[in-house]
């Protein structure tokens, strides 16, 4: 009927089924992979899942999420609003609505972001390289101290990193609507992810310029969609607060105080150190450099872009046709491993590549090799995919380093989290150019050092949240808070943030009832100039910064002066000076792996 036989109909349905089946399998594998990663991360973080909230969690993110959870406020009222976009805040509130408010639910909800990030790294690794490279990239990223510590903390950067990674995948797969959704979620997770948009624009211009084609309208819409959402959020925030972002104090600290050329240069140097050296990242950097040098010396640079089909595989799958193709290559003096072919690949000369491949019978990017099955061909990445990915990763890294050198008062490594997944993958790909035994040895050694770095604090100041030192900070403060809560009377406790919030807000998990607080901004000499002896009864003094006895900065006084001038660094006032000035007596002392808390009382 209608020119269609009975036997044609099942065939058409089979074609539809076959085309839908791979998508269903890919989706199922992604879900199962994320679930497996979630379980593994929960087991690794099991002792930390019920810890109270830490530093910026306690100061902003948890109070802001509670405001939305209790009254639907997108702009928080219980803490000073900072203008951060609200996706993570909404997500945490919905998780509490479904499972109840607790630190366990919060930590598990953040692990979901980490697990999905690892799954996406594996998918990207398979997309641009192969399965083993994807697995090594997942392992090293998961074990890196910064990613591991941030996997359970309620900050914005992990979510921004996940959606940035998904946006990169959408760009590589040329899916504009997927890119629009992922990049919009990235911008709604943290507004600094808007730096992805110029990178995407450069990438699309470069790609379509090479193809001598105009950019489709769908891509224009996809690139402007997240920008429109960000503008809408800024307008809403301005309507509520009178600021387009942040507040007076936030703008002064994160923007106005950073616009100094010397500070920008110093910040850039710190950012480069955090990215390529700190936390044993120098092992990946050194391995990648070794891989590049090895490839240059052995003329195997093209292996990064074009998967080489071994002669044995060609002969085995194509028989006489494979021998004929190899004979053509020999007659023309060309081989996919030859220096001339490698140089051609590195230059990206597509016309020369196509000519050499045609003369040799070597497969092009779009067609499988003669005699090679279509299934085998589908499992190989396209020749240009890796080059496009490295282009994207390089520009994204550059954009983040430049942006975070110009804005942001606190030079925290976690702000760089969105660039770590692609950088780790690029490093693994470059290390893979080395002989396999050497490459795998570097991976194993680096993984071991990353685990060691969970507990190893450097001999210079660093944020506790860069490794498991944040857990020591929380447990130490939890112990001190329980001690103070058990003391008789209603003593006025003098301390600095974040301990002031820990003792005043039971929802943060440190105390059952709020204590009587006298709050300071810090423990520098300037803060204590305004404190009179009659204003407090008890001093809660603690290590706000990592200052080990072998602090390298003490050997370089000029570095300390730069820190004080450009980064508002103030050393803590010595305990002995406080004891003499305010007539204090030590009541209790707590220590944990180099961090400490001292409880003093005034002597009347």
Kindly state whether residues 445 and 326 are assigned to the same domain: no
Kindly state whether residues 249 and 110 are assigned to the same domain: yes
Kindly state whether residues 445 and 569 are assigned to the same domain: no
* Band (603; pLDDT cuts 50, 70, 90): confident
Give CA–CA dist 334/589, Å, rounded. 74
| Order of strands across the sheet that contains 517-520 | 517-520, 493-496, 538-542, 595-602, 584-592
The pair of three-digit structure tokens given for residue 78, joined into one six-digit string: 């219980």
Kindly state whether residues 447 and 538 are assigned to the same domain: no
- Which helix (H) or strand (E) segment holds residue 542: the answer is strand 538-542
Kindly state whether residues 171 and 242 are assigned to the same domain: yes
* Band (362; pLDDT cuts 50, 70, 90): very low
Check residue 319 and report its DSSP letter: T
> Which of 382, 417, 439 lies at the terminal end of a domain, its last residue?
382
Q: Which of 20-29, 194-203, 485-494 has the lowest mean pLDDT?
A: 20-29
Q: Which of 50-59, 211-220, 516-525 has the lowest mean pLDDT?
A: 211-220
Structural domain contains residue 24: no
Structural domain contains residue 21: no
Collapse the DSSP code of 495 into the 3-class scheme (helix H, G, I; strand E, B; otherwise coil) and give the result. Answer: strand
Structural domain contains residue 326: yes
> Which of 403, 420, 453 lies at the terminal end of a domain, its last residue?
453
Kindly state whether residues 224 and 372 are assigned to the same domain: no
The range of the structural domain enclosing residue 230 comes to 45-292+388-453
Kindly state whether residues 331 and 402 are assigned to the same domain: no
Mean pLDDT of 394-421: 96
Kindly state whether residues 227 and 98 are assigned to the same domain: yes
Structural domain contains residue 242: yes
Residue 17 pLDDT more than 70? no
Considering the chain, what is the average pLDDT of its residues? Answer: 86
Kindly state whether residues 197 and 324 are assigned to the same domain: no
450: closest CA among 103, 146, 36, 226?
Answer: 146
pLDDT tens, residue by residue, 205-253: 988 887 778 889 999 999 999 999 999 999 999 999 999 998 888 888 8
Kindly state whether residues 261 and 358 are assigned to the same domain: no
Give CA–CA dist 533/604, Å, rounded. 10
Structural domain contains residue 298: no
Q: Is there a contact between 151 and 197 (Cβ–Cβ < 8 Å)? A: no
Confidence at residue 186, expressed as pLDDT on a 0 to 100 scale: 98
Residue 331 pLDDT more than 90? no
Give CA–CA dist 462/392, Å, rounded. 30
Confidence at residue 20, expressed as pLDDT on a 0 to 100 scale: 55
The pair of three-digit structure tokens given for residue 541, joined into one six-digit string: 């003094």
Confidence at residue 11, expressed as pLDDT on a 0 to 100 scale: 46
Give CA–CA dist 30/5, Å, rounded. 39
Check residue 489 and report its DSSP letter: S
Residue 335 pLDDT more than 50? no
Give CA–CA dist 454/372, Å, rounded. 46
Structural domain contains residue 365: yes
The pair of three-digit structure tokens given for residue 270, joined into one six-digit string: 């710190």
Strand partners, 600: 539, 586
Domains in the chain: how many in total? 3
Residue whose tokens read 């099991």 = 46
Structural domain contains residue 8: no
Kindly state whether residues 442 and 577 are assigned to the same domain: no
Kindly state whether residues 484 and 576 are assigned to the same domain: yes
Residue 348 pLDDT more than 80? no
Mean pLDDT of 573-586: 94
Confidence at residue 358, expressed as pLDDT on a 0 to 100 scale: 41
Structural domain contains residue 260: yes
> Which of 343, 366, 382 lies at the terminal end of a domain, its last residue?
382
């Amino acid at each position: 009927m209608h020119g269609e036989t009975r036997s044609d109909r099942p065939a058409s349905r089979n074609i539809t089924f076959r085309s839908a089946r791979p998508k269903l399998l890919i989706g199922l594998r992604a879900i199962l992979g994320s679930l497996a990663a979630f379980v593994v991360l929960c087991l690794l973080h099991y002792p930390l899942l019920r810890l109270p909230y830490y530093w910026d969690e306690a100061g902003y993110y948890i109070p802001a999420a509670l405001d939305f959870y209790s009254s639907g406020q997108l702009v928080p009222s219980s803490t000073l609003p900072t203008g951060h976009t609200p996706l993570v805040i909404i997500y945490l509130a919905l998780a509490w609505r479904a499972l109840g408010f607790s630190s366990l639910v919060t930590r598990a909800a953040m692990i979901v972001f980490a697990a999905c990030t690892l799954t996406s790294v594996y998918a990207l690794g398979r997309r641009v390289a192969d399965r083993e490279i994807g697995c090594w990239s997942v392992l090293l990223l998961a074990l890196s101290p910064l990613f591991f510590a941030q996997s359970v903390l309620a900050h914005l950067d992990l979510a921004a990193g996940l959606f940035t990674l998904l946006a990169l995948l959408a760009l590589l797969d040329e899916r504009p609507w997927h890119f629009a959704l992922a990049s919009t979620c990235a911008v709604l997770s943290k507004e600094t992810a808007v730096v992805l948009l110029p990178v995407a624009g450069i990438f699309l211009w470069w790609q379509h310029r090479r193809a001598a084609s105009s950019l489709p309208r769908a891509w224009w819409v996809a690139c402007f969609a997240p920008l429109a959402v960000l503008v809408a959020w800024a307008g809403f925030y301005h309507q509520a607060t009178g600021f387009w972002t942040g507040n007076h104090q936030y703008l002064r600290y994160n923007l106005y105080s950073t616009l100094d050329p010397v500070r920008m240069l110093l910040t850039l140097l710190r950012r480069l150190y955090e990215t390529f050296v700190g936390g044993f990242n120098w092992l990946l950097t050194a391995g990648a450099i070794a891989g590049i040098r090895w490839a240059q010396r052995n003329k195997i640079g093209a292996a990064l872009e074009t998967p080489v089909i071994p002669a044995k595989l060609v002969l085995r799958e194509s028989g006489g046709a494979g021998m004929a193709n190899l004979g053509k290559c020999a007659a023309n003096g060309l081989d996919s491993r030859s220096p001339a072919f490698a140089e051609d690949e590195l230059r990206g000369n597509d016309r020369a590549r196509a000519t050499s491949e045609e003369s040799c019978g070597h497969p092009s990017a779009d067609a499988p090799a003669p005699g090679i099955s279509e299934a085998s061909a589908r499992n190989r990445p396209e020749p240009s995919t890796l080059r496009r990915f490295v282009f994207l990763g390089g520009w994204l890294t550059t954009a983040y380093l430049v942006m975070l050198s110009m804005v942001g008062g606190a030079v925290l490594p976690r702000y760089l989290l969105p660039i770590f997944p692609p950088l780790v993958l690029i490093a693994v790909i470059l290390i893979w150019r080395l002989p396999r035994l050497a490459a795998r040895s570097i991976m194993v050694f680096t993984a071991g050092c990353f685990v060691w770095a969970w507990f190893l604090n450097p001999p210079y100041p660093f944020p506790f949240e860069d490794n498991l030192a944040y857990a020591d900070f929380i447990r130490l403060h939890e112990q001190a808070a329980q001690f103070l809560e058990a003391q008789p009377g209603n003593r006025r406790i003098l301390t600095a943030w974040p301990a002031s919030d820990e003792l005043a807000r039971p929802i943060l998990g440190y105390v059952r009832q709020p204590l009587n607080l006298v709050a300071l901004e810090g423990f520098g000499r300037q803060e204590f100039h305004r404190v009179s002896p009659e204003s407090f009864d008890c001093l809660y003094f603690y290590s706000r910064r990592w200052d080990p006895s072998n602090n390298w900065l003490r050997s370089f006084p000029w570095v300390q002066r730069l820190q004080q001038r450009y980064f508002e660094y103030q050393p803590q006032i010595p305990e002995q000076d406080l004891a003499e000035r305010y007539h204090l007596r030590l009541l209790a002392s707590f220590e944990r792996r180099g961090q400490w808390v001292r409880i003093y009382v005034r002597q009347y």
